[in-house]
Structure 1
Amino acid sequence: MSEEKSRIARAAGVVGGATLMSRILGFVRDAFIANLFGAGMAADAFFVAFRIPNMFRRLLGEGSLTSSFIPVFTEYLTQKSREEAREMASAFFSLAMVVLSLVTIGGIILAPQIVTVLAHGFTSIPEKFTLTVTLTRMMFPYLFFIGLVALCMGILNSLRHFAAPALSPVLLNISMILSVVLLAPFFKEPVLALAIGVLIGGVSQLALQLPFLWKNGMRIKLEWKPGHPGVVRVGWLMAPSIIGLAVTQINVLVDTIVASFLKEGTVSYLYYADRLLEFPMGIFAIAIATAVLPAMSEKAAKNDMAGVKETFSYALRLTLFLTIPAMVGLIALGIPIISILFQRGLFSYNS
């Protein structure tokens, strides 16, 4: 078990290091956004619009999909053959493309209705509402790409390859930073450049994963087999996971709905604060969870329930050891941290 703990710690270190790089670039990105848009109408519109595909991503992508797919895929790797695992992954990838395409098309068509529900307060300000709908339609295709990215990440993590998936968000941050710097001056509404950056980031993230899949012998083929036993099992596992995640997303929606009725900038304040909260979560909690899930799935596939419990216990202790000090630090140093990171340009001390 000590060897397994070392593997988990090393994997968590790789994921945590890559996540740290991504989070730092994320703060650079947010600093550019805060400097250019502050906490005004354009920033509020962008953050609401960006939250919508991200909400669906967490429900259908990296949240429920990854946690449901990895155990089944790992079982195929452990108990069957690598080729059968590849066939199952190909079948699920093909089905995911269809489902994500339908959700994306539906989101683009119903963008005004979705924004009305999620940010009803914006309807009293036509210019703000129209801008939010436009941004939502531009960024909804991001869901298609990031959903497939989540599936690729699940496959690679199951194969104990963590570097490429963990570095993937770096490309999103880079594309958004470059879009602000290079494209924003060419738009009447500079915030539209950010939406283009999001789309480029989604495509780039998917493009990064595919060569590593091929290198690891997982050449995904488009095979329409929705009735494949592995695909059906993943679907059944996803159902309760989606319900559980929906509860969390409802909390986020309530925040957004209430904030949309408050003074301009409130949505942006919530976003910037949430970004700060996600920094230690991504480096520690999510990194450990990413590293430990394939290990637990492998033990479960071998019916080693004692090993599953011991691995989970170790991961939980490690997570608490790292996140409790981070929590205390954020509570004590929230104001100076926000000031250092964001207080410049249109983002004032009051912001």
Structure 2
Amino acid sequence: MNLLKSAAAVSAMTMLSRITGLIRETITARLLGAGAESDAFFIAFRIPNLLRRLFAEGAFSQAFIPILSQTNATQGKSAAVDLARRVSSLLFIVLLLIVVAGVLGGSWVVMGMASGLAQGSEQFELTVLLTQWMFPYILLISMVALASGLLNTFRSFALPAFAPVLLNISFIAGALLLAPYFDQAVKAFAVAVMVGGVLQVAVLWYGLARTDCLINPFAGFGAIKAAWGDEQVRRVLKNMVPATLAVSVAQISLIINTNIASHLEQGSVSWISYGDRLMEFPTALLGVALGTVLLPSLSAAATRSHEEYSRLMDWGLRLTVVLVLPAAVGMGLFSDALVALLFHYGRFDANDVAMTSQAVIAYSLGLAGLVLVKILAPGFYAKQDIRTPVKIGIVVVLATQLMNLFTVPWLGHAGLPLSISAGAVLNATVLYWGLRKRGLYTPSSGWGLYLIKVSVAATAMGFALWLMNQQFDWLSMASTPLVRVAAVLGVIGVCGVLYFAVLAALGLNPKRLIRKPAV
């Protein structure tokens, strides 16, 4: 299998997803700004959005794919599809019950998510309504995750990576076409979320049919009983619970932080959410794309040889470092321009730009950790080692929340993403040393010199970026948005060329960096 080609396909689809996602957030900022209405939406969407990250990009994949890959390798495709069918039947009924409970107990969900909202207030009631409308998205996105795992196992990566684009397109269309028909535009967004979920399920089920992997989760209670008695299904479910904590530490902290933010200045939830969306762009392009492609390969290599496993992991880490470091520098030094470019329209004013920029800077400090976790955690799950990441995850969650005790009084809303960043760096560091200590990963030679060269190139790029950023007043360019777009893209282009030029001058050939590992 050509890992680079697969990673590029996933990255291309993920880039399209993140680009449409940024367009979606731009429209959201323009129509809602950062206030009570936008806070209500972001709080209501936090639970289904969290489940999207956990299932589609995290815990479910880590628990399901290694066992599915093992079944496919030892028993064949038919057995793997049967396993997916049994898992889907059980998962469907469990999630259906969760959805019913969430809809009926919407007010309790909101109180748990955002205790800072005054019960009975207009904002609280709006948040409850939006939560009830969007809660069924959990069921839809879980079926999407299962179908994606099955397709990825059979080396079909592009369609699962494309599916999130449909949610963004639905969101954009809903905001532009449905919003005028509602008394509050945010209600149109909630409808669009559900339509997008249905579209994702339909497209992926079409993909399953094309690859002769079609499964039916509505198989009845007899099939559910049989699934519960299946040893492999129970292994998936057993691994899934701790994997949720281990892989998604940052997301769990984000939920807790939402509650804390609801007690801060109005708009805090929105500022953090907009910053999170911007941070997701490089995180998804690098971490999710490489993690998605590496996990099936690592799972297969783990059964063959330690050397092959280490080469795959080493390649993923080197490629991640050379791409994530300039991204982190760029986000931190260019945050005001990026936020202004994406969100400074309509009801999103200059103060919102400044507050969101603070969140982006805080996130940039931990971008490397957030991405590397998505590469390092699959290293354990490929070996079906669950306990180690769980222990690390528990420590990181506790450390992150302890840090909030100091960062929030000091920095307000920006203290929340700063704690997440510090927790992500801690998580990645301990995961790395865990792989080393257990002998699961042996780094190749030359890492020290490699890091020095990448750091020199990133520093040169950062200095040039800082100089160019001083030449523009990004807020005053709101009246000429196309000029602002051209200026931002021009600065990014110059910095990108400079970064890779310095790398080449130092002897790091881009072709060598992305070359697939020898097996």
CA-to-aligned-CA distance 1:69-108 (integer Å, 9 cap, x gap): 1111111111112111111110001111111111111111
CA distance in 2, matches of 1:341, 1:61: 26
CA distance in 2, matches of 1:276, 1:86: 37
The residue that corresponds to 2:139 in the other structure is: 144
CA distance in 2, matches of 1:239, 1:192: 33
Q: Is the 8 A contact 1:183 1:193 kept in 2?
A: yes
Q: Is the 8 A contact 1:285 1:323 kept in 2?
A: no
CA distance in 1, matches of 2:249, 2:85: 30
The residue that corresponds to 1:289 in the other structure is: 291
The residue that corresponds to 2:212 in the other structure is: 217
Answer with 250-259 or 40-49: which moved more. Answer: 250-259
Matches within 5 A, 1:26-65: 26-59=21-54, 62-65=57-60
The structure-2 alpha-carbon separation of the partners of 1:125 and 1:35, relative to structure 1 and needing over 3 Å to count, comes to farther
Matches within 5 A, 1:177-216: 177-216=172-211
Match of 1:97 among 92, 97, 114: 92
Shift of 1:205: 0.5
Q: Is the 8 A contact 1:120 1:261 kept in 2?
A: yes
Shift of 1:61: 5.3
Which amino acid in the other structure matches residue 200 of structure 1? V
The residue that corresponds to 1:316 in the other structure is: 317
Q: State the aligned residue count.
A: 345
CA distance in 1, matches of 2:211, 2:305: 26
The residue that corresponds to 2:76 in the other structure is: 81
The residue that corresponds to 1:266 in the other structure is: 268
The structure-2 alpha-carbon separation of the partners of 1:57 and 1:340, relative to structure 1 and needing over 3 Å to count, comes to closer
Shift of 1:59: 4.2
**TM-score scaled by length of structure 2:** 0.65
Answer with 54-63 or 285-294: which moved more. Answer: 54-63
Which amino acid in the other structure matches residue 252 of structure 1? L
Q: Is the 8 A contact 2:30 2:348 kept in 1?
A: yes
Shift of 1:250: 3.4
Q: Is the 8 A contact 1:8 1:288 kept in 2?
A: no
The residue that corresponds to 2:233 in the other structure is: 231
Matches within 5 A, 1:152-163: 152-163=147-158
Shift of 1:230: 1.8
Matches within 5 A, 1:104-143: 104-123=99-118, 126-143=121-138
The residue that corresponds to 2:327 in the other structure is: 326
- In structure 2, the residue corresponding to 1:120 is in which secondary structure? coil
The residue that corresponds to 2:417 in the other structure is: none
CA-to-aligned-CA distance 1:175-206 (integer Å, 9 cap, x gap): 00111111111111221110000000001001
CA distance in 2, matches of 1:57, 1:328: 28
Which amino acid in the other structure matches residue 305 of structure 1? H
**5+ unaligned residues in a row in structure 1: which ranges?**
none
CA distance in 2, matches of 1:68, 1:202: 23
Q: Does 1:171 align with 2:166?
A: yes
Shift of 1:251: 1.4
* Identity in percent: 38
CA-to-aligned-CA distance 1:125-158 (integer Å, 9 cap, x gap): 7100000000000000000000110111111111
The residue that corresponds to 1:242 in the other structure is: 244
**TM-score scaled by length of structure 1:** 0.95
Q: Is the 8 A contact 2:44 2:130 kept in 1?
A: yes
- In structure 2, the residue corresponding to 1:154 is in which secondary structure? helix
Which amino acid in the other structure matches residue 210 of structure 1? W
CA RMSD of aligned residues (A): 1.5
Q: Is the 8 A contact 2:56 2:148 kept in 1?
A: no
CA-to-aligned-CA distance 1:98-121 (integer Å, 9 cap, x gap): 111111111112211111121111
- In structure 2, the residue corresponding to 1:347 is in which secondary structure? coil
Answer with 131-140 or 116-125: which moved more. Answer: 116-125
- In structure 1, the residue corresponding to 2:155 is in which secondary structure? coil
Which amino acid in the other structure matches residue 330 of structure 1? M
Q: Is the 8 A contact 2:174 2:188 kept in 1?
A: yes
**5+ unaligned residues in a row in structure 2: which ranges?**
353-519
Shift of 1:215: 1.4
Q: Is the 8 A contact 1:62 1:151 kept in 2?
A: no
The structure-2 alpha-carbon separation of the partners of 1:60 and 1:12, relative to structure 1 and needing over 3 Å to count, comes to closer
Shift of 1:264: 1.6
- In structure 2, the residue corresponding to 1:220 is in which secondary structure? coil
The structure-2 alpha-carbon separation of the partners of 1:209 and 1:246, relative to structure 1 and needing over 3 Å to count, comes to closer
CA distance in 1, matches of 2:116, 2:55: 27
The residue that corresponds to 1:346 in the other structure is: 347
CA distance in 1, matches of 2:23, 2:52: 23
Q: Is the 8 A contact 1:172 1:201 kept in 2?
A: yes
Q: Is the 8 A contact 2:55 2:61 kept in 1?
A: no
CA distance in 2, matches of 1:68, 1:90: 16
Shift of 1:303: 3.7
The residue that corresponds to 1:22 in the other structure is: 17
CA distance in 2, matches of 1:11, 1:59: 22
CA distance in 2, matches of 1:315, 1:245: 17
Shift of 1:248: 3.1
Answer with 234-243 or 91-100: which moved more. Answer: 234-243
Shift of 1:263: 1.9
